[in-house]
Amino acid sequence: MPELPEVETIKNQLKEKIIGKKLDGRRIIDVRRRAKLLIIDFKDGSSLIFHLKLTGQLIFNGKETKFTRKIFNFGDGTKLFFNDARKFGWFKFVKSFKDDFGPEALQIRRRDFRSRLRKRSNSKIKPVLMDQKFIAGIGNIYSGEILFAAGVRPMRLVKSLKEQEIKKIFQNIKKILKAAIKHKGSSVEYYLDSHGKKGDYTKYHKVYQKQICQKCGTKINRIKLAGRSSHYCPRCQS
């Protein structure tokens, strides 16, 4: 947290606010997202990269708080506040940006998705969806919600998935991520958009941190997968 929908929301908002401004004498020409990273590109070819990790925030023209780690001052007097309660997040300036992430979750094609899954046949499906080298942008919250929508338990081995289940997972990746972006992300704990407002997709969660399934009323099971808590409905998911 934040995942693709939250970073995409911040990216969309900052594109409207800071493109064309100068930061440390360098003109900003673009704001983009790659996986869970927010990237500010400058005219000279350099970039400023942010990874918000668990509790990072980027607030445009906000107010300094006890969690503010850095204030970026633009040439026109506006500011960008980088807040981070647990201090896991980071930012850095780079001369050029390269990565080894997998294809973007909103852009991957079904054929590529299936081909990549075949190479992970002995892996459990939820950790695979969270692996940024497999597919970029999905984390713990949305992988759980995607698998619930597809009716698949998070600990299923990839090789056990039927073709129809793979199709449902693929379809729900894009469906759920797009819906979450529309609702400005999920404010589970610290996440705020760049205006300092909470995202309201949290109210649409079906299993994440739920006690009771929002669909059938069954008690939600909570297990550990790849060091993370995973939630699923034993009745709706098989």
Q: Which amino acid is at 140?
A: N
Please tell me whether residues 194 and 116 are part of one structural domain.
Answer: yes
**Residue range of the domain that includes 28:** 4-94
How many other C-beta atoms lie within 10 A of the C-beta of residue 121?
Answer: 11
CATH of the domain at 79: 3.20.190.10
Note if 64 is an active site residue.
Answer: no
Please tell me whether residues 168 and 220 are part of one structural domain.
Answer: yes
Nearest to 42 by CA among 21, 62, 63, 59: 21
The Cα 154–Cα 23 span in angstroms is: 44
Note if 103 is an active site residue.
Answer: no
Per-residue pLDDT reduced to its tens digit, 169-221:
999 999 999 999 999 999 998 999 999 999 999 999 999 999 999 899 999 99
Per-residue pLDDT reduced to its tens digit, 139-181:
999 999 999 999 999 999 999 999 999 999 999 999 999 999 9
Please tell me whether residues 86 and 115 are part of one structural domain.
Answer: no
The Cα 75–Cα 151 span in angstroms is: 51
CATH of the domain at 206: 1.10.8.50
Note if 3 is an active site residue.
Answer: yes
Choosing from 11, 26, 36, 206, the catalytic residue is: 36
Note if 235 is an active site residue.
Answer: no
Please tell me whether residues 71 and 122 are part of one structural domain.
Answer: no
Choosing from 3, 6, 8, 145, the catalytic residue is: 3
Token digits for 235? Answer: 């009745």
Please tell me whether residues 52 and 139 are part of one structural domain.
Answer: no
